Amino acid sequence: MTRVGSRHLTVRTELEAADGSELPPLEVKVPIEHADLLDPSATPGALALVTAAAVRGEDLVVEGPVDEVIAGGLSEVGHLLSTWWGTGETRVTVTETTTGVARDDGGVGLFFTRGVDSWSTLLDLLELPPPVRVTHLLTVHHGAPILRRHQAEHIPGHQAVADELGLPLVVLETTARELLDPYRPWGETCGPALMATGLQVGAGLRRLVLTGAHPRDVHTLTGADPDLVTAIATTRTEVELGNPHRTRDQRVAHLRTSPLARASLQVCWEGLAAGNCGRCRKCQLTMASLLLAGDPDPSLGFRAPIDVDAVGAMSYGAELATFVAGMVDGLPAGEEGLRRALSDAWDHSRGLEARTRWGDSAPPPMAGPEVPARVAEARRATTGHPETPAAAPLGWSRRSVPLRPPATAHESVRARAATGPDRPRAWAVVEPHIRDEARDGRQADLAAALTAAHGPGVAYLPGILWDHAAPPVLDAARVGTLLRTARARLWWRADGDLDPLRVVEAIEHGCLPIQVMPAAVAQSLRSDLPAALAALVVAESDLAALDLGPTGVAALLAPAVDHVLLGSSEHDLRAPAPPDHH
């Protein structure tokens, strides 16, 4: 039954359940200004009805004229859905078929949400010549009243894009979700429901394009599975899977080629308002994909930036896990915190234990890349993959894995080390004075003791390095400049191994690295280190006797540099078992 209102044409289909239970009618509303596109037959609704029959485990009888081509496809759709869901075979009976006429003069309609997938498909379709070029943008309102209000807030943004491109925007409404949601999640029924709604304007369209979340060769057994989409067609209207070859990350990179697409991107459906909340899984993953695609400002258009802690706490179902997998390998080493958070969340979603990695407990960076970033870079250089379990702790003792400068930096490291002993200042203490959420006064005590024993030097003791709201005054590059004015870099540690990050950072900047420790701890650690590195561990009681003049520094620095550069991170981190330094 078709009703004509002041603003819409409403096609209403009454339903009767085999068990006598009450079912809501299926209604689709088409704007009155697009009445020329309307197909008033039972053809479009039959697709939504076979989905309803499959979710209920019933057969379907359609009493009304149905296009002969889709009549055959309904049985295939019913078979696919009932097989996926295990509801029993759904048999389809069509009491009346019609013979349509294939047309070459119809338009091409694209389901458009301003999301990554539909935007990438739209950019493709805009490149095509008539008659295969896109002619109509379709958007569908569906679901509960609060969701419909949310969708209505997006319409001005959709309309602005349509106006910019000179395309009509056709806003359709359907009650399909009221029929289907009590039985299956929307992600499993969305394809047939949307395509049924789109076919309601199929009288004026020769092709409908629906873009799933994955390329054609990925089968997720969901509403936009390629097998399901390609099973649907009428005599007059083809149904096509949009963007069949690009992955999600490739689609994100594609939309970055269009300023209009990037500026109008709408991916959030959880913030319940127009725009992108920046906090939900969809927003966080999209910003990560933009980072992966080289976007200089991935949070542009989002109300909050990427939150690494929030990403690590998220859970991803099978539909989103494939997106995460590509990011884990693809994010650059500079985004190591985000990459590890995605990896942890992905592991958690698959029921895996949290993994321990080299550098997880490393101190925050001061003068260069943090340990996880260095490790990921070295792992990529040898294995092509940044992930690895921690076979042993990072360090320089017998049971540890060393951390070294990258092989490409060895020449510059030796050049700086050659001139380091000639620098004007004897020492530098460049350390955070807050460690493990508590004030570490021993770094300041060390600077005072060095001043008393060896004269003025360089002391820089910033606060919490990981506080993004109040970052340190000096960035890593400027801290490196400070280190390159001093002959030696010293730091206090109460226990543990010879700090691998501080050793590497100091040597990279031409400084002699010295770790100051309590006497008994220093003696024990020295016995577990090779001679060239044992000399870098000094008891606090011996600090005054330490020779920080040019000759004394050169005598300790040269063998330490030779030892550290003897291997490479690319080699050491590749090995599953830690090497023996002795």
* Calpha distance 276→269 (Å, rounded): 8
From CA 376, how far away is CA 387, in angstroms rounded? 7
The SS3 of residue 27 is strand
Q: How far is CA 183 from CA 175, 212, 531, in A?
A: 14, 22, 71
Phi-psi group of 36: left, alpha or beta (phi > 0 → left; psi -120 to 50 → alpha; rest → beta):
alpha
Domains and CATH numbers, the chain: 2-104+138-238 (no CATH), 267-349 (no CATH), 407-572 (3.40.50)
In sequence order, what are the residues at sequence separation of 6 or more whose Cβ sits closer than 8 angstroms to the Cβ of residue 520? none
pLDDT at position 103: 67
What confidence tens digit (pLDDT) does each residue in 379-406 have?
A: 888 788 888 767 788 888 888 888 888 8
Residues 181, 162 contacting (CB under 8 angstroms) = no
Beta carbons of 565 and 413 less than 8 angstroms apart: yes
Q: Does an H or E element contain 86, and which?
A: none
- Say whether 479 sits in a helix, a strand or coil: helix
| Vertex 254: Cα angle to 117 and 275 (nearest 5) | 55
Pairing of strands 136-141, 107-111: parallel
The pTM (predicted TM-score) of the whole model is: 0.77
Which ranges of the chain have pLDDT less than 70? 1, 101-103, 144, 146, 271-272, 318-322, 389, 435-439, 464-471, 575-582
Judge whether 98 and 65 are in contact, CB under 8 Å.
yes
Max alpha carbon distance in the chain (Å)? Answer: 102
Residue 438: predicted pLDDT: 63
Rounded Cα distance between 411 and 467, Å, is: 34
Evaluate the CA torsion angle 304, 254, 163, 202 in order and state its sign: negative
Beta strand 205-210 with 107-111 is parallel
d(CA 528, CA 291): 43
Q: What is the pLDDT of residues 410-444, one digit of tens each?
A: 999 999 999 999 999 999 999 887 765 566 789 99
**Residue (of 488, 493, 479, 482) closest to 507 by Cα position:** 488
